[in-house]
Amino acid sequence: MLNDDPVLSKRARGFIVNNKSYVTDVIVTEIATVLDKVYEIDKADIAELIQAFLGLENVTYNLYFLDAVIELYEAKPALSFVDCYATVEARMYANTLVTFDKKLINQGGKHVVEPE
C-alpha cells in the first residue's frame, strides 16, 4: 500500500494482480492499526487506502462486516478500527457490546453500553 519496501511491494503487487486472494478481517484490522499507530496516517486516508485495496479485481473479503466497519471508522475518527469492528459485529449479530471505553459507549451506538 505504501511502497515502503519497493522490492516486497513489487512482489506483493504482482501476486495480487495475478492471483485471486482472500483477505481476512484480521489482516485488514492489522493493516488499519499499523497505518494508524506506526505510520500515523489520517484515518480518512487509511479508509481510502483499504477501500482501494479491497476494491481490486482479484481481492475478495468479508463483505458482511468490513464495508460497515470502514464506513463507521471514517464517520467516527475518535474510534479505532478494532472498536469499529467490535461495534459492527455486535450490531450485526443483534448483541450488546459491553465496555468501559467512554468514547466507544458514546459513539458506538445504542447497543454499546457500560456494565451495570
Residue 34 forms part of a structural domain: yes
- Mean pLDDT within 81-110: 97
On the question of pLDDT at 71 being above 90, the answer is: yes
Collapsed DSSP state (helix, strand, coil) of residue 61: strand
Q: What is the pLDDT of residues 2-42, one digit of tens each?
A: 889 999 999 999 999 999 999 999 999 999 999 999 999 99
Residue 69 forms part of a structural domain: yes
Domain count, the chain: 1
- Mean pLDDT within 63-78: 95
Domain carrying residue 100 = 6-113
Residue 80 forms part of a structural domain: yes
Check which CATH number belongs to the domain holding 101 and give it.
3.40.50
Collapsed DSSP state (helix, strand, coil) of residue 60: strand
Q: What angle, 0 to 180 degrees and rounded to 10, lies between the N-to-C axes of helices 81-92 and 25-37?
A: 150
Collapsed DSSP state (helix, strand, coil) of residue 21: strand
Residue 83 forms part of a structural domain: yes
pLDDT at 1: 85
Residue 1 forms part of a structural domain: no
Do 84 and 47 meet the contact criterion of CB atoms below 8 Å apart? no
Collapsed DSSP state (helix, strand, coil) of residue 115: coil
